Amino acid sequence: MKKADLVAQIAEKSGLSKADAERALKGFTEAVVEALQNGDEVPLQGLGKFEVRERAARKGINPATKEQIDIPASKVPAFKASSSLKALLKK
């Protein structure tokens, strides 16, 4: 599904115009990004939660040179689906 398809679905299901639906989607994504930047989780009932996970520093191998490299610790965004969403997808 492309962004335009998602905007059209939101507009259809909510009764908003496509322009309003696009602004709502943009506002939602900005709010989620801001919350994650602040280290907060974003739980959505029945869907799941967005969270930040920390990856530890580790050793890796450069595939081009086969040289061992150090990969620094990092923070990555993650989404964990709720059990109700998982159950819906099993049908």
Please state whether the predicted TM-score (pTM) of the whole model is above 0.75: yes
Fold exhibited by the domain 42-91: HU Protein; Chain A (4.10.520)
Q: What is the mean pLDDT of each run of 10 residues along the chain (91 residues)?
A: 95 95 96 96 96 96 94 96 93 74
Q: What is the pLDDT of residue 7?
A: 96
In sequence order, the β-bridge partners of residue 39 are: none
Concatenated DSSP letters for 18-84? Answer: HHHHHHHHHHHHHHHHHHHHTT--EEETTTEEEEEEEEPPEEEE-TTT--EEEEPPEEEEEEEE-HH
Cβ burial, residue 7 (10 Å; 0-12/13-18/19+):
buried
Q: What is the pLDDT of residue 80?
A: 96
Q: Where along the chain do its domains lie? A: 1-40, 42-91
